[in-house]
Structure 1
């Protein structure tokens, strides 16, 4: 059994250059990856800076840590300008970008409905997610894309020279239901879950979802091992990930046995559910990080 690699979720709430110092610190502590939520705001929190601009700046002040979104969604991004930004950041970072993709939440205090119009039904949201992901995949593979879909259009979009990573940047798909699992199996280089489900034990939730993901891969004719990064986004269950280094070690081992390869910890944020002792946070990074 291999110990999971660890990353951290950064809060895009500080202006530059203070934010840049935090991204550099994340790399120095040894985190393998550093993520940022891609929203206009998050649960009404302000200030909340743009994810893609932040990642471009972070790419310029770091050299090793992988960078990514958790997650980009159709809520307010069109695939064509998204692909353009992704390609650019991948080159700025020297091929260190991963894009987390999800269907998007429904909270208007984050970004759902921010562009106006009618609320999307669950069926439409799932359909948009599928079409959006498929088009982004085509755009990033290039060299030219024309597409007429139900929700999105692209006309003679040239994406050469393409991404620094080939054939494109990795996709980590967030999808716990059958349609999301199929998308992960079809387009994903990885998959992400929080393990949260009302009234159920998180480890059993992850065990069940991983089995469903393997079944979805088999249905798509794909080897499940091709989804290299299986990411657990912590902080949304009552598990004591940052209570102590020992507690982290125990939980990390349990999830590694299930098949999780990556664990994402939120950067400690005082006065919130993600408050934690920074000494414990740094001790975990020292034990599990790539700087050790």
Structure 2
């Protein structure tokens, strides 16, 4: 059994150059990947800087760590300008970008409904997510894209110069329901979950979701390389101690999880943690291991 790789979520709440120092530190600590949430705010937290602009800046102050969104939100982004930014960041980073994609949150305090109009039903949100991802895939693989969908369209969009990574940057898809898993199986290099479900044990949740994902992949005739677990959304004590992390990482590795993401400790929030433990975990599971 191979130990999971480890990454961290970087909070886009500090201005540059202070934020740049934290990105450099994440790389120096040995994290394999560093991510940023794509919102206009997050549960009402401000300031909250733009994810894509932050990644472009982070790419210039790092050289090894993979960077990415976890996850890009269709709530306020259209696939055409998103694809243009993604290609640019992939070039700036030298091919270190991974794009996480999800259906978008439902909280007004983050970004749901910020463009106005009626609220999306769960079914419409899932349909938009699937169409958004399909169009982004086409835009990044080109060479020229025209598309007329139910929710999104594009006209004669030229793909050149394309991504550094071929055929395009990898997608990691966040989708726990059947439709989301089909999107992951069709377009993803990986899949991400938090293991959270009311009234259920997280490991049981992940086990059952992985079984459903396997079925979706078999239907598409594909396998996913990266199975990502977002920590911090259940009661599991991931950063209580290095031993606690090792125990949980081993349990999830047995289920098939290949990547574990912890949040950079943020004082005054549920994501606070002892920096000594955080750094010890990075040393045990990071690039220097």
Measured in 1, the distance between the counterparts of 2:126 and 2:246 equals: 36
The number of equivalent residue pairs is: 289
SS in structure 1 of the partner of residue 156 of structure 2: strand
**Matched ranges for 1:72-87 at <5 A:** 72-87=72-87
Structure 1 residue ranges without an equivalent (≥5): none
SS in structure 2 of the partner of residue 55 of structure 1: helix
**Matched ranges for 1:64-143 at <5 A:** 64-143=64-143
Residue 253 of structure 1 corresponds to 250
Q: Which runs of 4+ in 1 moved over 3 A?
A: none
**Matched ranges for 1:208-223 at <5 A:** 208-222=208-222
Measured in 2, the distance between the counterparts of 1:197 and 1:123 equals: 19
Residue 263 of structure 2 corresponds to 266
SS in structure 2 of the partner of residue 6 of structure 1: strand
Q: Compute the displacement of 1:212 (Å).
A: 0.4
SS in structure 2 of the partner of residue 206 of structure 1: helix
Residue 41 of structure 1 corresponds to 41
Q: Does 1:287 align with 2:284?
A: yes
Structure 2 residue ranges without an equivalent (≥5): none
Measured in 2, the distance between the counterparts of 1:89 and 1:100 equals: 14
Measured in 2, the distance between the counterparts of 1:168 and 1:48 equals: 28
Q: Compute the displacement of 1:35 (Å).
A: 0.3
Provide TM-score, normalisation by structure 2: 0.99
Q: Compute the displacement of 1:121 (Å).
A: 0.7
Provide TM-score, normalisation by structure 1: 0.98
Q: Compute the displacement of 1:73 (Å).
A: 1.9
Residue 200 of structure 2 corresponds to 200
Q: Give the RMSD, CA atoms, in angstroms.
A: 0.6
**Are the aligned partners of 1:28 and 1:291 in contact in 2 as well (CA < 8 Å)?**
no
Q: Summarize deviations over 1:195-231 as a string: whole Å, max 9, x none.
A: 0000000001001000100000111122x2xx11110
Q: Summarize deviations over 1:126-170 as a string: whole Å, max 9, x none.
A: 110010000000000011000011111100000111000000000
